[in-house]
Amino acid sequence: MTAKYLKNDYAIIKVIVMFPLALFVPYVGPIVAIGKGIQSITRKTRRQFWKESQPIKKPDRRYKVGYRIEGYAEVEKHERIPADENILKIYRRKGIAYLTIGVVLITFHMYCYYLV
C-alpha cells in the first residue's frame, strides 16, 4: 500500500510548484506554505481506497421490491484510517519541506522589503 500511495501522491512535484507560488505572491504564498507544512506534519490519518460493485437499479412495479437490477457498476469508495509509520514519515518530510519553503521565503520577502 505504501508504494501505491507514493506513486499517486506526487509530493515532489507539489513542493516544486509551491516554491514559485510562494516566491511571487508576497507574504500570502509563504503563509500558505507554512500552513500546509503544519497541516502535513500534524496529520495522523490517511485515506484507504477500494472498489465495490453496486447494483444498477431501475424502477419496475412488476417486482415486489419496486425495482429491478440491470447490472453492476464498479464504485470506488474510501475511508479514513490511522496512518502507519512509513506514511507518517512521508507526511513529516513533506511538512518539513513546506515549512522550509515558507520560512525561507518569508525571510526573503522581509529582507527585500526592508532593503528597498
pLDDT in tens, the chain (116 residues): 444 554 556 767 777 777 777 777 777 888 888 999 999 999 999 888 889 999 999 999 898 899 999 999 999 998 999 999 998 998 999 999 999 988 988 888 888 877 76
| pLDDT at 3 (0 to 100) | 47
Same domain for 34 and 54? no
Q: Are residues 21 and 53 in the same domain?
A: no
Judgement on whether residues 37 and 91 belong to the same structural domain of the protein = yes
Say whether both 1 and 38 belong to one domain.
Answer: yes
User: Tell me, what's the pLDDT at 4?
Assistant: 52
pLDDT of residue 95: 92
26: domain range?
1-44+83-116
In a shared domain, residues 90 and 116: yes
pTM of structure: 0.66
Measure the CA–CA gap between 75 and 110, rounded to whole angstroms. Answer: 50
Q: Which residues of 58-92 are buried (b: 16+ CB within 10 A; e: fewer)?
A: eeeeeeeeeeeeeeeeeeeeeeeeebeeebbebbe
Number of domains in the chain: 2
Question: Could you tell me if 36 and 8 lie in one domain?
Answer: yes
Same domain? For 2 and 38 the reply is: yes
